[in-house]
Structure 1
Amino acid sequence: MWILYLSLTVLLLILTLLPKIQHSHWVFRVPEFGKIQITFFTLFTIILGFFVGSSEYLWYYQGLLVLIFIHHSVILIKYTPLYPVKKFTQKYQSSDRIHFISANVYQFNREYDRFIQLIEKYRPEMFLTMESNGDWEQALRKLEKDYPYQHKVTLENTYGMHFYSKIRMEESRTHYFVADDIPSIEAHLKTEDGFSFVFFGVHPPPPSPTEEETSKERDGDLLSTAKRVIEIKKPVIVVGDFNNVAWSKSSILFRKTSHLIDPRIGRSFVSTFHAKYKLLRFPIDLMFHSEEIFIDDLKTLENFGSDHLPVYCEFFIDHEQEEKQEKKSIMRPLKKKLKPKK
């Protein structure tokens, strides 16, 4: 049992230190995904330490494990209801509730009807599919009557994307920020009650031994999206399979560059992958939004045969918040002009 305890301690230390090394190779980036599991295994190893027998070095190892546990817990607690965040209530100036579903359907999943039943059950105003190829596009045609606005990027390389909306789409475009076979969707929408917003769908490639050796392409795609977001003067939502976790440095850089909000903070992890293995499930299907958008509900839905669980979101847009932001931007230069000279 001592050998098991010692081996777990060394492994947990390595998995904690590897992401601290600023290198883009997947070996250094993949341990970031398992922070939740690492935290639980650290707690398990601490408990195991009380049963391994006496050793003159035991309490040094226990102290190290406690430090590892605290390190991960301080980061993860932000993504739980224990972390205090300001709560907002819907006002009369705000939009009607809007709902969307984002789902990596897994290109080789043939259970099209289960996904269609999911959409018919929850009836979102919008939904985004990733890894959707020609077969998926054909299967989803039965929904086009209910979703007259569409943007389709049909690919057979597991990076196809399809966006369907009941809300009027004023314009849309496909971006290829870092590669000509890795698309992102930008859709400008306007609700019946006059609220305009922009929906981004993203799906950058993961750093892994089977796909991209490094995270450079993923991080470059996300940073390019962030730079595009700050050019837009409307409320924005960015949704998709980021192949990343919210606490990674590249996700934090994306959030800071785009000036968007991570709705997981103060809420929950919303873990999506792998759908079949609950204990090995990572929160890699992310969402970020601008200040004018307020999230009422964010959760995973039932599995429909994919390796990802779908993400369901309910939100509203607040014009009053937009006006506040406009006033801030107007007042800043005005204050500078009125500032008395010394």
Structure 2
Amino acid sequence: MWTAYLILTVLLLILTILPKIQHSHWIFRVPEFGKIQITVFILLTLLLGFITPDKSPYFWYFQALLFVMLIHHSVILVKYTPLYPVKKYTQKYQSSEKLHFISANVYQFNTEYDRFIKLVEKHRPEMFLTMESNGDWEKALRPLEKDYPYQHKVTLENTYGMHFYSKIEIEDSRTHYFVADDIPSIEAHLKTKDGFSFVFFGVHPPPPSPTEEETSKERDGDLLSTAKRVREIKKPVIVVGDFNNVAWSKSSILFRKTSHLIDPRIGRSFVSTFHAKYRLLRFPIDLMFHSEEIFIENLKTLENFGSDHLPVYCEFFIDHEQDEKQAERIDHATKDEKAEAEEMIEEGKRENGERDAVVTEG
């Protein structure tokens, strides 16, 4: 038992240290995703130590190390729980009507189209975004177009297709290819019937992983390019999608600071989405950020519809009178952080992602 305790302690120390090394290779970036699970294992290993027989003379040093790691991770994670104090705001007479959206990575090879259609029909959001949606998904979703007459479609067969459907009028929309010509982002300018304008951004950068991109350069460059574009927009903004990132990573924090947006998970919950089939190995990688004029009433995951991601459901309203109260939640990038963001954007553009035009499941 002592050997198992020692191996676990060393492994958890390595997984804690690796993300601190600012290298873009997936080996250093992937452990960021599992911070919740790592924290749980640290706690369990700490408790295991107390019941381990034949303890080493260095036992208390190892226990102290585990305790320090537990505090380190907990201080970061507690911000994304209801234990962290964040002021809540209520809808006022000058606010917009409540609006709702669903963001879902549908998984390109998932053919249970009807389950997703029924999910949309059940929750009836004013808008929804699909990622990994290819030609088959576009065709399958056509029955919804009568209720969602405004659309922006980017149909790709490389698992980076993206479709946006809305009941709210789209006044203008465009597709961005910030760092690669096969990784799109959608920018849609909408105006509600009660006269509130806002911008909806859909993003889906590639993940750093042993099976996809070797580094996080394209992901980070794409997200920070989006952040720069957001700063140019003088309307309320929502950025949502499969970020293939976690809110506490350095690049996510840099995105938040560069864009001057708010992370609604802070003071609320993790909203873990991937992997949909494995509850204990689920990471919060489908993120959203919003400007100070956007007020979140509800943010949660919905039921699984056959994808490897759970869909995200959000209820919000727009209020230009209360925005100054929420502006205190915005962090601003320092001069050095702005320079670092620019460097990461350029690195992302130079990176040559190895994606096939058409991807097959395998």
Please indicate, yes or no, whether the TM-score normalized by the shorter chain is above 0.5: yes
> Match of 2:128?
127
Structure 2 SS opposite 1:211: coil
> Match of 1:303?
304
What is the 5 A alignment of 1:15-26? Answer: 15-26=15-26
Q: 1:297 to 1:324 in 2, by over 3 A?
A: closer
Residue-by-residue CA offset, 1:228-272 (whole Å, 9 max, x unaligned) = 000000000000000000000000000000000000000000000
> Match of 2:119?
118
CA distance in 2, matches of 1:147, 1:319: 27
> Match of 1:282?
283
Structure 1 SS opposite 2:57: coil
Residue-by-residue CA offset, 1:251-301 (whole Å, 9 max, x unaligned) = 000000000000000000000000000000000000000000000000000
What is the 5 A alignment of 1:1-342? Answer: 1-53=1-53, 54-321=55-322
Compute the displacement of 1:111 (Å): 0.1
In the superposition, the TM-score normalised over structure 1's length comes to 0.94
Structure 2 SS opposite 1:204: coil
Residue-by-residue CA offset, 1:188-230 (whole Å, 9 max, x unaligned) = 0000000000000000000011111000000000000000000
CA distance in 1, matches of 2:51, 2:60: 13
Contact 2:292–2:324 (CA<8 Å) still a contact in 1?
Answer: no
Q: Which amino acid aligns with 1:290?
A: S
> Match of 1:340?
none
Compute the displacement of 1:322 (Å): 5.2
Q: Which residues of structure 2 form unaligned runs of 5+?
A: 328-362
Q: Which amino acid aligns with 2:21?
A: I
CA distance in 2, matches of 1:47, 1:62: 9
In the superposition, the TM-score normalised over structure 2's length comes to 0.89
Structure 1 SS opposite 2:102: strand
CA distance in 1, matches of 2:319, 2:233: 17
Q: Rg bigger for which structure?
A: 1
| Root-mean-square deviation over aligned CA pairs | 1.2
CA distance in 2, matches of 1:151, 1:139: 16
Q: Which runs of 4+ in 1 moved over 4 A?
A: 322-326
Q: 1:85 to 1:322 in 2, by over 3 A?
A: closer
CA distance in 2, matches of 1:229, 1:76: 27
Structure 2 SS opposite 1:28: helix
Q: Which amino acid aligns with 1:40?
A: V
Structure 1 SS opposite 2:146: coil
Compute the displacement of 1:321 (Å): 3.2
Residue-by-residue CA offset, 1:299-328 (whole Å, 9 max, x unaligned) = 0000000000000000000021358899xx
